[in-house]
Amino acid sequence: MTIWIDIVKSILTALVSLALISSAAAQSLPGGFVYLRDIDPTIIQDIRYATSNNFVGKPLNGYAAGECVVKRDVGLRLKAVQQELAAQNLSLKMFDCYRPVRASLDMVAWAQNGRETVAERRYNPKIPKTELFRLGYIASRSQHSTGAALDLTLVDLKADNSARIDPARAYADCTGPVEARAPEGSVDMGTGYDCTDLKGHTAARSITPEQRAWRNRLVAAMARQGFVNYSKEWWHFSLPGAGGAAYDFPIQPRRN
């Protein structure tokens, strides 16, 4: 009887070990990538390309989960930024982090499909979408795919950030007043996220002093950790030297 008990225990131990190994394998990411939640779970995430709330109007290929995936060094620097902001009752909010190459190809197909809907025009009210690549707003080979680029904003933790987008509502375009634009649960940077317009340029002159102050605050906080802003997008930052080869692994749900 004792022999059978020992055999059963050995089998159970082996099964538990196999389950743990399988779980770890499912969580493994290539190239030094990590889930940002494993570095700092306090950073707010709204990964827009995993949803229909983006300029393409559907989840992009490769976004099987709304998770921010970053290179470890990038994640540690974001954690440092977040710690500085937390003392000011502010938080980072991530819109996009690592982006699979297949998602960028989805953007290429969208730009060339010959259609422009009212919802799409909210994001690019003045520029035909076929021109977005030439003008540098979208790239078929994105730094995001190397792990070197991020899209983000600031959240005032003292404010009411509860408003959610209503798909049935006709919102103003991304350059409109904040109360008329689609809600993003963040501070007013002068435009919405992914707004392909001169007003979305970081140093745009057509924004209010308060909006400029928020942009400057974000740029300064990120710069203290080595991040560089892209001049045509107030939300886009990259970390020089953090990139390398482009990756195309899909973003999968994170397992605890």
Amino acid letter at 165?
A: I
**Highest mean pLDDT: which range of 18-32, 107-121, 168-182:** 168-182
Same domain, 128 and 107: yes
Of 112, 126, 119, nearest in space to 57 by CA: 119
More confidently predicted of 14 and 63: 63
Q: Is residue 83 part of a domain?
A: yes
Query: Hey, what are 232's tokens?
Result: 């045509």
Q: Which of 16-25, 86-95, 130-139 is predicted least confidently?
A: 16-25
Same domain, 133 and 219: yes
Query: Can you give the pTM of this predicted structure?
Result: 0.88
Q: Is residue 252 part of a domain?
A: no
Q: 18: domain range? A: 1-30
We report the CATH number of the domain holding residue 83 as: 3.30.1380.10
Dump pLDDT digits (tens) for 17-62. Answer: 433 333 333 468 998 999 999 999 999 999 999 999 999 999 999 9
More confidently predicted of 172 and 9: 172
The answer, yes or no, to whether residue 16 has pLDDT greater than 80, is no
Q: Is residue 256 part of a domain?
A: no
Q: Average pLDDT of the chain? A: 89
In the sheet that holds 44-45, the strands lie side by side as: 44-45, 90-96, 149-156, 233-238, 228-230
Same domain, 26 and 107: no
Same domain, 60 and 180: yes
Query: Hey, what are 12's tokens?
Result: 């159970």
For the segment 243-251, the average pLDDT, to the nearest whole number, is 93
Same domain, 147 and 197: yes
Same domain, 144 and 158: yes
Q: Is residue 229 part of a domain?
A: yes
Same domain, 190 and 179: yes
